[in-house]
Amino acid sequence: MNREELIKEAINSIVECDEKKAVQLAEFVISAGIDPVFILKEGFSVGIRIVGDYFERGEKFLPQLIQSACIMQKTTEILNAAVAHNVSMKKAGKMLIATVEGDVHDIGKSIVVSLLKTQGIEIIDLGRDVPNARIIESALENEVDVIGTSALLSTTLMNQKNLEDELRKRGIRNRFKTIVGGAPVTQRFADKIGADAYAEDAAEAVTKVMELLSARQTV
């Protein structure tokens, strides 16, 4: 199976909710010595994004979305375990990530977490529907380098702005780099609220977070 076929099969396994196929592909990737991050980014992650698009268009329903997300989580756990076992990586930094208060969507965030872990980044995942006060308290307690928040609803979008405002109000904004993402979020919004970075998808989030960590290390 060449890489193009492998990518296609990985995408289809998520879209078709075929857990057996997805697990077999993940195990094949490991046994064949293929880069786990490659198939995660180009295959499985693309599949879950397609499922999300279908859901938004009403072509798939919530049970299918949840099933695909569960399969995605299982495959990423397999691939992440392989990365941790085979690669001794120096910790690249520490990041806190959360879905903002009032928002219970976390599929996209979970994909971001999986990809970031493969880069040696220590992740504190607070989950979903997280108040800004808890985000700040945890960021201080864990002495993180980066705070990442996700908002999937236009009604919860302003909680990302409120977080930036609260960090400045407390005089601790310069202690962290911040990155925002989610369906209604744009680069323009990120610039407006004063976030350090914006990511459109999981793959871009990895690139942007690595850049933020690099910037902190050179200061």
pLDDT of residue 90: 58
Phi and psi for 11 in degrees, rounded to 5? -60, -50
**Token output for 128:** 């979903």
Give the 3-state secondary structure of residue 122. Answer: strand
The answer to whether the beta carbons of residues 196 and 212 sit under 8 Å apart is yes
For the stretch 21-78, pLDDT in tens is 999 999 999 999 888 878 888 898 888 878 878 887 889 888 888 888 889 888 988 8
CATH hierarchy code of domain 3-86: 1.10.1240.10
Q: What's 93-218's CATH class?
A: alpha beta
For the stretch 148-170, pLDDT in tens is 999 988 889 999 999 999 999 99
**Token output for 154:** 């236009």
The answer to whether the beta carbons of residues 73 and 110 sit under 8 Å apart is yes
- For the chain, residues classed under CATH 3.40.50.280 are 93-218
Upper half-sphere CA count for residue 22 (Cβ side, 13 Å):
28
- For the chain, residues classed under CATH 1.10.1240.10 are 3-86
Examine the pLDDT at 89 and tell me if it is beyond 60: no
pLDDT of residue 162: 98
What percent of the chain shows pLDDT beyond 70? 95
Q: CA torsion angle for 126, 130, 131, 137 (degrees, to 10)?
A: 0
Q: Any idea which residue has 């693309």 for tokens?
A: 46
**Token output for 121:** 């980044």
Question: Mean per-residue pLDDT for 191-211?
Answer: 91
